[in-house]
Amino acid sequence: RVLDVGCGAGASSLALAARVGAGGYVLGVDISEPLIDRARALAPQDTSALFRVADASNAVLPEGAFDLLFSRFGVMFFDDPTGAFTHMRHALRPGGRVAFVCWRGVGENDWVRLPMGAIKDIVPLPAPPGLEAPGPFSFGDRGRVTRILTAAGFTDIAIEPFDASISFGEGETRDAAIDDAVKIALESGPLSLVLADQPDDIRAHAWAAVRTAFADCPGERSVIINGAAWIVMARNPTASSD
């Protein structure tokens, strides 16, 4: 019995459902109704995965109903992460586990570092958010993650670094792959917010600069960039800590 937090369009939930088999089930929750609609549309009829529009930090969840609390890049956005994990822990059975992956620091992740670095002399960049402000990199500090989970009542906390090469942009040719990488960068993440209100000439200048940055990355039919994450695991105590 798995709770998938921030399940998006359901890819992780469906993969988990294939692992738990017919005897188990997966509940995927996300605050985005369009993503949940997409997850439901993609789910095969015989899957054990269910999907629900909900904020896991405060949603009504059955006490002790889950064996595993899972998330793939979905737990870094809580306004009160300690309160959120405390709330979610109550949905775990005694001895149940939490396992999630979250980004490390922005400087270690090329999907933000490269495009933002490329435009720093073209448009003024906003002040970086506070290290503990909700956002993709708010769990970049291993010590903070440990403090949050400890305060939320978890034990046996293990946090390991995970480094990977990421295919960021794909195409039939090298040029097409680079163009696709730029398109992704311009349509999502902090770059899209910085350029949202900029005139067309500035956007074009930024597009060229970001393209140059991605052109320096390896790859033939994709652009290979570096990604850095934490894999975090912990356990709900067998005896109540409340």
User: What is the pLDDT at residue 190?
Assistant: 86
Q: Which CATH class is domain 2-105+131-163+228-235?
A: alpha beta
3-state secondary structure of 167: strand
User: What is the pLDDT at residue 241?
Assistant: 53
Give the E-state strand segments of the chain in sequence order: 2-5, 26-30, 49-53, 66-72, 92-103, 155-170, 222-235
The number of angstroms, rounded, from the C-alpha of 42 to the middle of its chain's C-alpha atoms is 20
Residue with the two structure tokens 């200048």: 205
Contact 229, 101 (CB under 8 A): yes
What DSSP character marks residue 101? E
Residues facing residue 26 across a β-bridge:
2, 49
3-state secondary structure of 128: coil
Domain extents in the chain: 2-105+131-163+228-235
**Digitized pLDDT (tens) for each residue of the chain, 242 residues in all:** 999 999 999 999 999 999 998 889 999 999 999 999 999 999 999 899 999 999 999 999 999 999 999 999 999 999 999 999 999 999 999 999 999 999 999 999 999 999 999 999 999 888 777 778 899 999 999 999 999 999 999 999 999 999 999 999 999 999 999 999 999 998 887 888 899 889 999 999 999 999 999 999 999 999 999 999 999 999 999 865 55
Residue with the two structure tokens 């439901």: 40
Residues facing residue 160 across a β-bridge:
231
What own/partner pairs with CB < 8 Å and gap ≥ 24 does 117-125 have? 117/213, 118/206, 118/209, 118/210, 118/212, 118/213, 119/191, 119/194, 119/195, 119/206, 119/209, 119/210, 122/202, 122/205, 122/206, 122/209, 123/194, 123/195, 123/198, 123/202, 123/206, 125/194
User: What is the pLDDT at residue 128?
Assistant: 74
Among candidate residues 165, 152, 145, the one with its CA nearest the CA of residue 231: 145
pTM of the entire predicted model: 0.90
Among candidate residues 138, 134, 160, the one with its CA nearest the CA of residue 234: 160
User: What is the pLDDT at residue 129?
Assistant: 73
